[in-house]
Amino acid sequence: MEQQQRIGTQVEGKFFTIFVDGKEFHLEQSTITGGEIMDLAGISRDVGLIQILEDGTQVQVQPDEVVELQPGRRFKKAPRFVRG
């Protein structure tokens, strides 16, 4: 497997870029679980994770769900609703 190297803000080698709550992450593997994405982004597994599809549709990602990575995949912390 080709080694990923960070040089300043650039990464060399084969990698996938994903965005979680606007933050950019570079991953060498082509699959990752929802839980691993949450851990990487510092999102509590109690909160949950949403994947934003290209058409704007939002899909919940379970912690044990395997996600096939593609360039530019976007995720965000699941919203919390407060009852008033």
The SS3 of residue 37 is helix
Residue 82 lies in a domain: no
Half-sphere exposure of 15 (CA within 13 A, CB side): 15
Give 1's DSSP letter: -
Task: State which residues form the domain around 42.
Answer: 5-77
**CATH number of the structural domain spanning residue 39:** 3.10.20
Closest-CA residue to 32 (of 72, 64, 5): 64
Q: pLDDT for 58-70, tens place per residue? A: 999 999 999 999 8
Q: pLDDT for 32-54, tens place per residue? A: 999 999 999 999 999 999 999 99
**Rg of the chain's alpha carbons, rounded to an integer?**
14
User: Beta strand 16-20 with 73-77: parallel, antiparallel or unpaired?
Assistant: parallel
Residue 36 lies in a domain: yes
Residue 83 lies in a domain: no
- The pLDDT of residue 40 is 95
Count of domains observed in the chain: 1
Residue 48 lies in a domain: yes
Whose tokens are 């996600």? That residue is 67
pTM to 2 decimals? 0.78
